[in-house]
Each structure stands twice: as structure tokens, then as C-alpha cells.
């Protein structure tokens, strides 16, 4: 959590990858739900093309409800015996 200059809360999630901007990245169900519940103060910063050699990267920012801004694809299920 951070704060805006006027004191409002700012919830920040950062995702860093070495891959390019067109490669997918992982988000948890909780992260997506949090962005829905706190859409007025949620920010996702995606750092990509990260280089550990010189710590350079590019980034973009997504604000609010991630369901409105990203194409989300379910890739896992939690399974229990019946």
C-alpha cells in the first residue's frame, strides 16, 4: 500500500518478467478479486524485459478492475475428491 499526494490509499501490485510485453504473466484469483473490490485505488505495474545484469526494464500501468483491462484465462483448478 502507498498513498496519493492528497492522502488517499493507493494499492499497488507489481509483476516483473524477463519476457516481452506480448507474453502472458500470472495473477492469482485473490489479486484479481482485490482489484475488483478496490477498483478505485488499485494499480498493477507490469515490469517486462527485465535485465538482472543492469536492472533495466520497461513497464506499463493498469488501473482499477483488472477484469476490465486484461484478457484473463484460467490456467489452474484446485481439486478435491468428492
Residue-range definition of the domain harbouring residue 17:
2-69
For residue 9, being part of any structural domain is answered with yes
Per-residue pLDDT tens digits for 15-40 = 999 999 999 999 999 999 999 999 99
* Tally of structural domains, the chain: 1
pLDDT beyond 90 at 76: no
Rounded Cα–Cα distance for residues 64 and 57 (Å): 23
For residue 77, being part of any structural domain is answered with no
Confidence tier at 70 by pLDDT (50, 70, 90): very high
State the sign of the Cα–Cα–Cα–Cα dihedral 62, 73, 37, 28: negative
For residue 74, being part of any structural domain is answered with no
Per-residue pLDDT tens digits for 51-62 = 888 888 999 999
> Percentage of residues in the chain with pLDDT exceeding 70?
100
Confidence tier at 11 by pLDDT (50, 70, 90): very high
For residue 81, being part of any structural domain is answered with no
Amino acid at each position: 500500500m502507498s498513498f496519493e499526494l492528497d492522502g488517499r490509499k493507493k494499492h499497488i501490485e507489481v509483476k516483473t518478467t524477463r519476457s516481452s510485453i506480448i507474453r502472458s504473466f500470472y495473477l492469482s484469483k485473490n489479486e484479481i478479486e482485490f482489484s475488483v473490490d478496490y477498483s478505485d485505488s488499485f494499480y498493477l505495474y507490469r515490469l517486462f524485459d527485465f535485465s538482472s545484469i543492469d536492472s533495466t526494464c520497461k513497464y506499463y500501468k493498469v488501473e482499477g478492475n483488472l477484469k476490465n483491462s486484461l484478457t484473463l484465462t484460467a490456467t489452474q483448478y484446485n481439486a478435491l475428491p468428492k
